[in-house]
Amino acid sequence: MDNTALENRVFNPPAEIAENANAKADIYEWAKKDRLGFWDAHAKELVTWFQPYDKILDDSNPPFYKWFVNGKLNVSYNCVDRHAKSNRRNKAAILYESEIGKKVCLTYGMLYREVNKFANVLAGLGVKKGDRVALYMPMIPEATVAMLACARIGAPHSLVFGGFSPESLRDRINDCGAKVLITSDGNFRRGKPFPLKDNADKAMEDTPTIEKCIVVKNAENEVVMKEGRDLWYHELMATAANYYEPEVMDAEDMLFILYTSGTTGKPKGVVHTSGGYLVQTQATLKYVFDIKEDDVYWCTADIGWITGHSYVVYGPLALGTTVFMYDGTIDYPDKDRMWDMAERYGVTKFYTAPTAIRTWMKWGTEYVKKHDLSAIKILGSVGEPINPEAWMWYRENIGHGEAPIMDTWWQTETGAHMVTPLPGVTPLKPGTATVPFPGIEVDIVDENKNSVNEGYLVVKSPWPSMLRTVYGDDNRYIDQYWKKFGDFYFAGDGAKRDEMGYIWVTGRVDDVLNVSGHRLGTAEVESALVECEEVAEAAVVGKKHEVKGESVCAFVILKDGFEGSPELIEKLKKHVGVKIGPIAKPDDIIFTSSLPKTRSGKIMRRLLRDIAEGRAIGDVTTLADPGAMQEIAAKYAGKE
């Protein structure tokens, strides 16, 4: 993304969208003049409160900010009750299709009923306000039902992406002390059932807090049900009562915990609360995707990630939108699967990740051309920087040459969009997330907090959907996000500003990788590698990858007596896959006898990245042994 200065193409908003857009140009001025008033107006417009708040923002104890102080609400009430009791009752809330073609439509009325019943199921198993519930589920409607049922009871949920390993699931359950685990027998991947419940069983061998495990029958693969612990979802639902009174929650009560990778080996439990999160997820979706009553909105993210939480479940359902959900691979039975569904369901707004766009690009346009995508009005991108080529391809082929692309920069921690264009207002340039959302104060600063055109991306003032802490670890929250710049939130990303004032996010500046839009800590992969008996030490870096954005590249020192071999490379890759999940598997493993370290012992990953990406090696003068780089470079060259 070094071509910011070269990118001159500017695309103005299409007249048709600009004329009818939810957000008009004056929205920026309004938010600038009265930032808190802007959020106050949206909190009043978009949330049904049981009791109004008496203060918009309490910033008396930074960085522990509180929004909509003393306001009372229930998030599930906002997502289902208020629609089920309106003329949206028979409007589709969820349109779902499985890989093998199973189709489900849940109207708002039906979703309301399911959520209430499942809240009764959970309550019947002893789940109370404040108890944690873990979810390890495919992209099925029951996952949304379960999330909303937790919200109804006031039991924070913690979703673990279905592609994570049993060990990752176990660690996340144990960190938050979940009482109940909800999973499914399995789901289909390329026509074959993937055994989620088997993984859950392995995790539950060592999760002392789990009392019950609820299993949704989905792929109908065989599972072992443990007497006294495991229960079938459909059996519990068959006798559940139809109504559960929503718990009255404080705006600052926890809605969910979501684990994400940081710079140490242990993932962080990012804590989100109820009021501010519900305000900002809705406000951003309403304006960024210009949500209208008749939209069919499809965000391809898995619900196990923050994009799934905010823009498959909470944001769109709170707005009463029709959400399309697909559980399966993007090329099954053929490479036009996505476009086939987009055409059949008449998708109007489509939100995905650059890695997927690059995959479709590689496959060629013939698969897209088979389908009529003319209903698509707005496109979105999230998860990593989008390269201008992919941006242009997306606009030309999926957006039939005119749909504006919303490149949205945000994070698990920010909860909702932070830097993004607005479709009827912002002129677009391929590759930039453009400007901060109204009411959000973002800047680029140097080490001394001076505003500069190239440096660290920071958020200068609190925002409603911000994380509130790291679960059980306030110090880590402070250290990670607030220590570097005091009252500015440190996002961990680098960014540049162009002559139009647009922000170009260049990627992480810390030891976090972004593989296919998924965050991974270098330390997580390294600690998985050093668990292997052959490995003495490992250093992991991200290497630019044409489709995945970054791939995992590991430099490994073996213990005395062990030799590098293709078999050992395979063994180590497999171990990382089993330990963390397939997304963490290194593409490259290079055996070496030393690693570049400073005199104080810190590994200089920057130099390893230079080698992996074929650049001239940077400054080596701070290395304890400057000669080490030559050996590593030779080993790397030998690999290829």
* Site residues, ligand PRX (CB under 6 A): 260, 306-307, 382-385, 407-412, 433, 491-493, 505, 507-508, 514, 519
d(CA 247, CA 152): 6
The distance of closest approach from Cβ of residue 383 to ligand PRX in the complex, given in angstroms and rounded to an integer, is 5
Q: How far is the CB of 431 from ligand PRX (least distance, A)?
A: 9
| Shortest distance in whole angstroms from residue 541 CB to ligand PRX | 15
Whose CA is closest to 417, among 383, 460, 393, 376? 383
Give me the least distance between CB of 519 and ligand PRX, in Å please.
4
Contacts by 37-40 with C-beta closer than 8 Å and gap 24+?
38/438, 38/439, 39/67, 39/279, 39/280, 39/439, 39/464
Of 634, 632, 618, nearest to 538 by C-alpha is 632
Give me the least distance between CB of 540 and ligand PRX, in Å please.
Answer: 17
Query: Contact 158/412 with Cβ under 8 angstroms?
Result: no
- Cβ-based nearer residue to ligand PRX, 338 or 583: 583
- For the bound state, the minimum distance from the C-beta of residue 263 to ligand PRX, rounded and expressed in Å, comes to 12
Distance CA 86, CA 69 (A): 28
In the complex with ligand PRX, the residue whose CB is nearer, 247 or 413, is: 413
Residues 6 or more apart whose CB falls under 8 angstroms from that of 637 comprise none
Annotated binding site for ATP: 383-385, 407-412, 493, 508, 519
Classify each residue of 289-328 as buried b or exposed e, where b means 16 or more C-beta atoms within 10 Å of its C-beta: bbbbeebbbbbbbbbbbbbbbbbbbbbbbbbbbbbbbbbb
Least distance in Å: CB of 310 to ligand PRX? 8
Q: How far is the CB of 508 from ligand PRX (least distance, A)?
A: 5
Q: Which of 426, 421, 381 is nearest to 399 (CA)?
A: 381
Q: How far apart are CA 524 and CA 534, in angstroms?
A: 18
Please state, in angstroms and rounded to a whole number, the distance separating the CA atoms of residues 150 and 128.
9
Q: Are strands 268-273 and 254-260 parallel, antiparallel or unpaired?
A: antiparallel
Q: Are 636 and 590 in contact (CB under 8 A)?
A: yes
Q: Closest separation between CB of residue 180 and ligand PRX, Å? A: 26
Residue 397 vs 412, nearer CB to ligand PRX: 412
Beta carbon of residue 175, minimum distance to ligand PRX (angstroms, whole number) = 17
Nearer to ligand PRX among residue 311 and residue 339 (C-beta): 311
If you compute the radius of gyration of the chain from its CA atoms, what whole number of angstroms results?
24
**Rounded CA gap, 424 and 37, in Å?**
23
Nearer to ligand PRX, 57 or 419 (CB): 419
The answer to whether 303 and 309 have CB atoms below 8 angstroms apart is yes
How many angstroms separate the CA atoms of 425 and 606, rounded? Answer: 39
Please give the annotated binding residues for Mg(2+), written as ranges: 530, 535
Point out the annotated binding site: 189-192, 307, 383-385, 407-412, 493, 508, 516, 519, 530, 535
> Phi and psi at residue 196, in whole multiples of 5°?
-65, -45
Residue 517, sorted as left (phi over 0), alpha (psi -120 to 50) or beta, turns out to be left
Q: How far apart are CA 498 and CA 453, in angstroms?
A: 7
Residue 505 exposure: Cα atoms within 13 Å on the Cβ side: 26
CB of 261 to ligand PRX, least distance (A): 8
Residue nearest to ligand PRX (CB): 412
Yes or no: say if 327 and 191 are a contact pair by the CB < 8 Å rule.
Answer: no
Closer CB to ligand PRX, 399 or 507, in the complex? 507
Contacts with 288 (C-beta within 8 Å, 6 or more apart), sequence order: 380, 406, 408, 417, 420, 421, 422, 423, 437
- Assess contact for 400 and 371: CB atoms under 8 A: no
Query: Rounded to whole angstroms, how far apart are CA atoms 155 and 254?
Result: 8
Binding region for CoA: 189-192, 307, 516
Least Å from the CB of residue 146 to ligand PRX = 22
Residue 348: closest CA among 369, 327, 374, 329: 374
Instruction: Report the residue number, 280 or 408, with the smaller CB distance to ligand PRX.
Output: 408
SS3 annotation, 251-299: CCCEEEEEEECCCCCCCEEEEEECHHHHHHHHHHHHHHCCCCCCCEEEE
